[in-house]
Structure 1
Amino acid sequence: MRRFRVRVNGKEYDVEVEELSSQTQVQQTVSETPEVPVAAGKTEPVKKVEEVKRSEPQAGERSSQSGGTGGINVVSPMSGTILEVFVSVGDSVSIGQKLVILEAMKMENSILAESSGTVRQVKIRKGDNIDAGETMIVLGS
């Protein structure tokens, strides 16, 4: 029999668990214990958290970023399949214009231009699978 103290949503529980073999039954005893205040002078270990800078945008971040060549990369906010591409190289786009429809988890997501410019590169085609953070279109001024 093994005993564990488990904390769930601020409440502590003492749990006893019996190890199973091929011929034994499970026996569990759960008892709720009140919160135990930390004794004076007793401290919890502190873990140091460091900020990590990412080189690629993650889901939920802006869907475009400046490229190293002065262009603006329109990146995929999530993994999915390209259903439609509405622009081609040389097209002029304005803010809010629909560039791509991306299907993710059976939902169609419209990817819009966050800045105006001219399409320099289209790195995707209809039917392509794309990962989050992958560049789809490069815009220039």
Structure 2
Amino acid sequence: MGLDTSHNAFHGAYSSFNRFRKVVAEAAGGSYPPHKDENMDKENWYWDSSYSKEANPGLYEFFNHSDCDGEISPEMCVKVADELEKLLPRIEELSKGTDGGGHIARDGGFVEVTKRFITGCRSAAGENEPLIFG
């Protein structure tokens, strides 16, 4: 069992997708559960105060989206891709020395997984189709 998205954006275990979101959150100056800091709410994710739902709707969608069903609209896919792309240098810096394990390692590490997700989002948007999670 795991997450399979359309447009070849992500295929792997739910735990791998969670690790992917954790590194993206860290790149955005935040944390995605489970948190290293046990005082953080186990149900919520965090990002740096310079980010907001209004200024970063793509990342907000990425962090809040179900990991097992639903879809991201073509318009939102563009925003997700653009905002993830801006984080690539920081993701590369954070992931040095680790392959990410499991399906992340299989797919080339966090940078390659991020690039693949970006490409999948752009592909969905270019075809005017939603990115489907299933």
Which structure has the highest strand share of the two? 1
- TM-score > 0.5 by shorter chain: no
With the shorter chain as reference, the TM-score category is under 0.3
TM-score, normalising length from structure 1? 0.22
Larger Rg: 1
Structure with the larger RCO, 1 or 2 (CA within 8 Å, 6+ apart): 2
